[in-house]
Amino acid sequence: MIPVIDISKLDGEERSETLAKIHNGCQEWGFFQLVNHGIPVELLERVKKVCSDCFKLEREEKFKDSEPIHLLNEIVDQGQDKKSENLDWEDVFVLHDDNQWPSQPSEFKETMKEYRAELKKLAEKMMEIMDENLGLEKGYIKKAFSGENGVPFFGTKVSHYPPCPRPELVNGLRAHTDAGGVILLFQDDQVGGLQMLKDGQWIDVQPVTNAIVINTGDQIEVISNGKYKSAWHRVLVSTEGNRRSIASFYNPSLTATIAPAKQTGDDESSVNVAYPEFVFGNYMEVYTKQKFMPKEPRFQAVQAM
Ligand SMILES: O=C(O)CCC(=O)C(=O)O
Ligand SMILES: [Fe+2]
């Protein structure tokens, strides 16, 4: 089971145990769930509702005539019996500060704006905990993600994985590691499907009502010089249930330079630096083409840019 951590304990007598649990979650798993995170349940309930309503009102009908449907039909017509590695059975849109948001339902914008503000604060809190656990100056990761004069990117991806008639032939989302920094996932209470890879085994990320799942991306792996490895994960689909998931990504600015951090107390000659230094925008160029492939060649490719 993925670790479930009561983050409210960070403010009391169990602070050091809680820091240690988070360190372990980052180092051994790359995935863990937060409970008692302080985001009002009432807000989370509204978020579930507006996202599900938005899917019903604006997206469900279009999904019936979308690429995944056509590709699956092709595969079935061709008589393919192996799982396709070319398609994801999902409906997705991304919200960030400067793009167009859905207009339905009418409470969507206000609710998601409020939600994003809360999640962004939680992401920054997690980054400060990682600073502390990694022996870095407070604010190090946020500063690294901001770069010289940029701002970190904060995006929220709203996904639905509708029921699939042939779940053995497609993934909801193919296996990958995330490109960016800290990912905060609010997943469906009822419909599972998310799995992460640990020690060569796929493990379910068990739904825990109103918990926030945290996972770390490739840039935290680089900054931590491999201590906090980004974990592979994937989403499976089934013939029943429409899984909703809302993933918020706290990523570097495209102009930020990312490199392994020098820990306080590190003697430069004693540290084996395992990752290159690169501009995050260049990494994203490589990632877009290689998302579902191993990450090591991405680091090599960006080093050569
Ligand atoms: O939908 C999910 O639960 C996971 C989404 C995900 O892994 C991603 O967007 O990178
Ligand atoms: Fe992901």
**What is the Cα–Cα distance from 240 to 78, expressed in whole angstroms?**
25
173 lines ligand 1 (CB under 6 A): yes
CA of 247 to the centre of ligand 1 (A): 6
| Identity of the amino acid at 170 | V
User: Which residue has tokens 């490109």?
Assistant: 179
CA of 265 to the centre of ligand 2 (A): 33
Instruction: Tell me the ligand closest to 92's alpha carbon.
Output: 1
Of 96, 183, 237, 291, the residue with max ligand 1 atoms within 8 A of its CB, to mutate for a pocket test, comes to 183
Q: Detail the DSSP E strand segments found in 96-176.
A: 153-161, 173-176
Instruction: Tell me the ligand closest to 237's alpha carbon.
Output: 1
Mean local confidence (pLDDT), 27-37: 98
Q: Which class for 12: exposed (0-12), middle (13-18), buried (19 or more C-beta within 10 A)? A: exposed
Q: Edge-to-edge strand order for the sheet containing 4-6?
A: 4-6, 31-35, 212-216, 182-187, 243-251, 153-161, 91-95
Could you read off the pLDDT of 136-169 as tens digits, one per residue? Answer: 999 999 999 999 988 999 999 999 999 999 999 9
Tokens of 237: 């689909």
* HSE (side-chain half, CA atoms, 13 Å) at 148: 3
At 128 the pLDDT is 98
**Paired residues of 154 in beta bridges:** 250
Instruction: Give the closest residue to 88 by CA, choosing from 228, 301, 288, 235.
Output: 235
User: What is the percentage of the chain residues whose pLDDT exceeds 90?
Assistant: 93
DSSP state of 19: H
CA distances from 114 to 53, 75, 119, 131, 171 (A): 17, 42, 9, 26, 32
At 267 the pLDDT is 63
CA of 100 to the centre of ligand 2 (A): 23
Q: Identify residues whose C-beta is under 5 A from ligand 2, the ion.
A: 178
Element (DSSP H or E) covering residue 32: strand 31-35
Could you read off the pLDDT of 41-99 as tens digits, one per residue? Answer: 999 999 999 999 999 999 999 999 999 999 999 999 999 889 999 999 999 999 999 99
CA of 302 to the centre of ligand 1 (A): 24
CA of 192 to the centre of ligand 2 (A): 15
Instruction: Look at residue 265 and tell me whether its pLDDT is greater than 80.
Output: no
User: Which atom number of ligand 1 is nearest to the Cα of residue 213?
Assistant: 3
CA of 269 to the centre of ligand 1 (A): 39
At 269 the pLDDT is 61
Domains of the chain and CATH, by start? 4-303 (2.60.120.330)
Cβ-Cβ contacts under 8 Å for 233 (sequence gap 6 or more): 31, 175, 176, 177, 194, 195, 196, 197, 205, 215
Q: Whose CA is nearest to atom 6 of ligand 1?
A: 247
Q: Contact 89/237 with Cβ under 8 angstroms?
A: yes
The phi, psi pair for 98, rounded to 5°, reads -125, 40
Q: Whose CA is nearest to atom 2 of ligand 1?
A: 245
Instruction: Look at residue 214 and tell me whether its pLDDT is greater than 90.
Output: yes
Could you read off the pLDDT of 224-251 as tens digits, one per residue? Answer: 999 999 999 999 999 999 999 999 999 9
**Paired residues of 187 in beta bridges:** 245
Q: Whose CA is nearest to atom 10 of ligand 1?
A: 178
Band the pLDDT of 255: cuts 50, 70, 90.
very high
At 273 the pLDDT is 83
Instruction: Look at residue 262 and tell me whether its pLDDT is greater than 90.
Output: no
Instruction: Look at residue 264 and tell me whether its pLDDT is greater than 60.
Output: no
Cβ-Cβ contacts under 8 Å for 195 (sequence gap 6 or more): 202, 203, 204, 205, 233, 234, 235, 236
At 266 the pLDDT is 60
Round the average pLDDT of the chain to a whole number and report it.
95
Instruction: Look at residue 5 and tell me whether its pLDDT is greater than 90.
Output: yes
User: Which atom number of ligand 1 is nearest to the Cα of residue 159?
Assistant: 1
